[in-house]
């Protein structure tokens, strides 16, 4: 920074810095409370559907029955991704990371949307609907393409959660699993200015279009310290292998100052309310499949981390074992996060466009000053 009076000293990782006003969601890290537009996440998880939450995040209120039907129908009639995008994905190497594929494919959706350009609410909303409808289609299609399977066409009679599982696995989920997955999408929908949402707002703040902002959000979500943690939780559980091996494994990891994936949070200093639900789902899937190992291992890690470090599981900890027992590939967990978080991203982008100000902070300059240029021949 050039003048000390203009700015305050940098906060590492912008912790505690308020960077935007938003009416979308709020995280109370001390008390472990998460709200979307004033509604407690537990209330929404108990009573709502993901589509209803999408309406809430975009409009700031719960929909009437007719409004919900209209939005659901708008989303469902946009489930189908452009054939050119699916064909493009067929050219990608089979070992491409699903998040890299998602980033590239979502970016290319832009070419085929004639109505979704522009940052006014009418046009931006059209892009938000298409993105929310097609991000699941693309994610599921990639898992099938890379495994040499036929892409399953979306089923417009199904909601977003149900339809995603159908396109991914090629068969309809039972009602129990579909509802569990629907709640998982509700839980992941928004989380205030997390890294990917902040990224989307920075991009939208330049008045770049929604496809650009969401593409950047996907890139940010992919990182292992953000959405990539859920995949790494499952990799960790598989590596540890058994409940008996946990204590020694965790001790060694802590000794070596390695982070335990799915534990800790930048804002929550108590139980993440989303983990409360996902813990239940992990147990439910353990009971349903008769495979208790992953749930029991997770419980033991949770207990050790609580006792030794006073830390709690975050949203990624129990979603890992839940999705694993649903038969979903490990590297698809982060795309699933995106299938949900698209609602929060687009909500924040709409909000940013609504009262935009270019986001342009300052850096605290800690480099040298008054350097004298030395010609290259003399260095
Ligand atoms: N396992 C072990 N120790 C952890 C830890 C974890 N998962 N998370 C934080 N810590 C420790 C750090 O090593 C550090 O210890 P130190 O003070 O002795 O150096 C201290 O807690 C603070 O860590 P820091 O990374 O600065 O905290 P943060 O608030 O910035 O971190 C996360 C938040 C989420 C990035 C961090 O907890 C983490 O990396 N968790 C694992 C990845 C994850 O699950 N991400 C998904 C988030 S939803």
Q: How confident is the model at residue 2 (pLDDT cuts 50, 70, 90)?
A: very low
C-alpha 67: how far from its chain's center? 26
Length of the chain: 379
Question: Which of 231, 264, 272, 278, when mutated, tests ligand 1's pocket best, judged by the most ligand atoms within 8 Å of its CB?
Answer: 264
Decide if 59 contacts 50 (C-beta within 8 A).
no
Q: Write down the pLDDT at residue 5.
A: 42
Under 8 Å between Cβ of 338 and 245: no
Largest CA distance in the chain: 76
Looking at the chain, the whole-number percentage of residues with pLDDT higher than 90 is: 93
What is the per-residue pLDDT across 321-358, written as a single tens digit (0 to 9) for each? 999 999 999 999 999 999 999 999 999 999 999 999 99
Q: Whose CA is nearest to atom 31 of ligand 1?
A: 266
pLDDT tens-digit map of 69-83: 999 999 999 999 999
pLDDT tens digits for range 37-96 = 999 999 999 999 999 999 999 999 999 999 999 999 999 999 999 999 999 999 999 999
User: What pLDDT digit, counting tens, does each position of 357-373 carry?
Assistant: 999 999 999 999 999 99
Which of 224, 230, 259, 278 maximizes ligand 1 atoms within 8 Å of its Cβ, making it the mutation to test the pocket? 259
Residue 264 near ligand 1, beta carbon < 6 Å: yes
Distance of CA 324 to the CA centre of its chain: 17
pTM score: 0.94
pLDDT at 6: 52
Share of the chain above pLDDT 70, in %: 98
CA 224/CA 214 separation, integer angstroms: 18
| pLDDT score of 10 more than 80 | no
Q: Whose CA is nearest to atom 39 of ligand 1?
A: 225
State if residue 225 touches ligand 1 by the CB under 6 angstroms criterion: yes
pLDDT band for position 3 (cuts 50, 70, 90): very low
Q: Which residues are catalytic?
A: 265, 316
Both tokens of 369, joined, read 């000053």
Is residue 120 predicted with pLDDT exceeding 80? yes
DSSP string, 270-310: S--HHHHHHHHHHHHHHHHHT--HHHHHHHHHHHHHHHHH-
The whole-number average pLDDT for the span 135-156 is 98
Determine whether the shortest distance from the Cβ of 261 to ligand 1 is under 6 A. yes
Instruction: Please say if the pLDDT value at position 204 is more than 50.
Output: yes
The mean of the pLDDT values for the chain is 95
pLDDT at residue 226 in the model: 87
Question: How would residue 146 be classed by pLDDT, with cut points 50, 70 and 90?
Answer: very high
């Amino acid at each position: 920074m050039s003048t000390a009076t203009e700015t305050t000293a940098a906060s590492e990782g912008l912790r505690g810095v308020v960077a935007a006003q938003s009416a979308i969601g709020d995280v109370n890290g001390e008390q472990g409370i998460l709200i979307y537009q004033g509604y407690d996440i537990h209330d929404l998880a108990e009573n709502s559907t993901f589509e209803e939450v999408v309406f809430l995040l975009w409009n700031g209120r719960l929909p009437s029955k007719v409004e919900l039907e209209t939005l659901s129908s708008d989303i469902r009639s946009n489930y189908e991704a452009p054939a050119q995008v699916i064909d493009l994905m067929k050219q990608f190497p089979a070992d491409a990371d699903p998040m890299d594929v998602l980033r590239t494919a979502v970016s290319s959706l832009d070419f085929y949307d004639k109505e979704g350009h522009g940052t006014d609410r009418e046009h931006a909303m059209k892009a938000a609907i298409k993105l929310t409808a097609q991000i699941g289609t693309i994610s599921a299609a990639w898992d099938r393409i890379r495994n040499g399977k036929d892409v399953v066409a979306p089923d417009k009679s199904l909601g977003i959660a149900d339809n995603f599982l159908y396109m991914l696995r090629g068969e309809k989920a039972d009602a129990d699993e579909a509802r569990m997955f629907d709640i998982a999408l509700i839980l992941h929908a928004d989380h205030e200015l997390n890294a990917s949402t902040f990224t989307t707002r920075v991009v939208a703040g330049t008045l770049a279009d929604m496809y650009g902002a969401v593409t950047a959000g996907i890139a940010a979500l992919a990182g292992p310290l953000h959405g990539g943690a859920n995949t790494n939780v499952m990799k960790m559980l598989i590596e540890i292998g058994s409940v008996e091996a946990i204590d020694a494994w965790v001790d060694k990891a802590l000794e070596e100052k390695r982070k335990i994936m799915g534990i800790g949070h930048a804002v929550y200093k108590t139980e993440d309310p989303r983990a409360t639900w996902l813990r239940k789902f992990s147990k439910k899937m353990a009971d349903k499949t008769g495979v208790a190992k992953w749930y029991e291992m997770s419980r033991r890690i949770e207990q050790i981390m609580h006792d030794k470090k006073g830390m709690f599981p975050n949203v990624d900890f129990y979603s890992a074992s839940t999705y694993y027992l649903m038969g979903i590939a490990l590297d698809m967990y982060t795309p699933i996060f995106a299938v949900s978080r698209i609602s929060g991203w687009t909500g924040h982008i709409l909000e940013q466009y609504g009262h935009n100000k270019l986001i342009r902070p300052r850096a605290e300059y800690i480099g040298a000053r008054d350097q004298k240029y030395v010609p290259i021949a003399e260095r």
